Amino acid sequence: MMMTAEDVGRLKTGLEREERIYLDLRDLSRRQGEIIEREEGVEALLEVLGRKQVLISEIETIEDEVSPIKQAWEETRETHGQRVRREIEERVTRLQAVLAELLELEDKARTLLQRQQHELAGEIRKISRSREAHQAYGGGRDKPTSTGLIDSRC
């Protein structure tokens, strides 16, 4: 596919849009990490995840539009002027840096969640063992009730 100046413009615009969205995703991932660290609750986490999903859908739409142009760029990059190549490459480099940071934040959040899940499982096991021990030592027996032997006149 031969790339026109219009295609190059669409590629630049698509990369700019992707970068903005990935920056927003990065910010949401930072917020997600804060929510997990501070144990702010499931509702706050679900809100952030919902907003991230909307942004991911936007990226998918952009990718559908720009993917053929990206492929054509890879095939025809050397046929374009140095200024255009440098401009596109700088955008791609910025985008890759944001993506790397985003992946790092996602890995950190995943690790935090796994640690909290492990800690919670440990707490549940402790409670379960305590309950079992309590029941083993008679904690599950009914408490004595009044036998009626006490004189109610006293």
Q: What is the pLDDT of residues 9-56, one digit of tens each?
A: 999 999 999 999 999 999 999 999 999 999 898 899 999 999 999 999
How deeply is 128 buried, as exposed, middle or buried, from its count of CB atoms within 10 A (0-12, 13-18, 19+)? exposed
Long-range residue pairs from 14-20, CB within 8 A, at least 24 positions apart, any chain: 14/62, 14/65, 14/66, 14/69, 14/70, 15/66, 15/88, 15/91, 15/92, 15/95, 16/91, 17/62, 18/59, 18/62, 18/63, 18/66, 18/95, 19/91, 19/94, 19/95, 19/98
Q: How confident is the model at residue 141 (pLDDT cuts 50, 70, 90)?
A: low
pLDDT at 151: 54
Q: What is the pLDDT of residues 46-65, one digit of tens each?
A: 999 999 999 999 999 999 99
Q: What is the pLDDT of residues 109-122, one digit of tens each?
A: 999 988 888 887 87
